[in-house]
Amino acid sequence: MACRARLTADGARARQDPNANTSFDDGDKLDKIIAGIPSPKTLSGFQLQPVEFEKDDDTNHHIDFITACSNLRAENYKIEAADRHKTKFIAGKIIPAIATTTALVTGLVVLELYKVIDGKDDLEQYKNGFINLALPFFGFSEPIGSPKVEYQGPSGKVKLDKIWDRFELEDVTLRELLEHFKGQGLSISMLSSGVSLLYASFFPPAKLKERYGMKLSKLVETISKKAIPPHQKEVIFEMVAEDMAEEDVEVPYIKVRVR
């Protein structure tokens, strides 16, 4: 709201009167702002891309942006401004933890880490901990093993862990990937990355011929119509496959290094 300022005799600025008549026309400023808005024709094909909020990466300036915008709003509505630390606390939905609980959990984690360093592969040696200092309650249980999968390979049964195992490849062509897994006894019928279906055995021959010679990174960018971000070094692929016994098998994902 515009207002007229009065000067006291000694030249100091007096308190502004919000009910005073405006000394200039706000309409002129609004007209200039409206005139500066681009024509819809100039924005043809313009698209907004959503950005995933990440509070712990200071290089993306997400917290800085939220701090600036929220404090501008606070200034307009006479709300107490928040510093960057408090903004990160609120926007990041950070839950404060009691130091004693944090220390206990850290200690239990380190105890399990010793077992990993010692090379223990017996699952019964490890423990899950359930702690509530307010009761108090201390409970421990043996962890459940991750699901496994078996398939018929060229040299017999192959056993894989669905969670911890994965296939790792370089940025090869689609044809090379298919041949690689065929040599391991897996016939891929469908290959996808994210929501993009990159390969299916029922695709028309012309489409398959076009994609066989493409690098996997190029194939992903072509089908998804999105470039792989410069900071992303690996791309995850999922496959539907049959083993040598022509049985459908749920195998782990493929991780392809693109950079």
pLDDT by residue (tens digit) across 95-137? 777 788 889 999 999 999 999 999 998 889 999 999 988 899 9
Where are the extended beta strands (E) located within 13-67? none
* pLDDT > 70 fraction of the chain, expressed in percent and rounded: 90
Does the pLDDT at position 6 exceed 50? Answer: no
- Supply the pTM of this predicted model: 0.55
Long-range contacts of 157-162 (CB under 8 A, 24+ apart): 158/184, 158/185, 160/251, 160/252, 161/252, 162/250, 162/252
For residue 14, name the pLDDT band (cuts at 50, 70, 90).
very low
Does the pLDDT at position 211 exceed 70? Answer: yes
Q: Over range 153-170, report the average pLDDT.
A: 91
The residue ranges of every structural domain in the chain are 99-141, 148-257
Does the pLDDT at position 208 exceed 80? Answer: yes
β-strand pairing of 248-249 with 234-242 = antiparallel
The mean pLDDT value of the chain amounts to: 87
CATH topology assigned to domain 148-257: 3.10.290
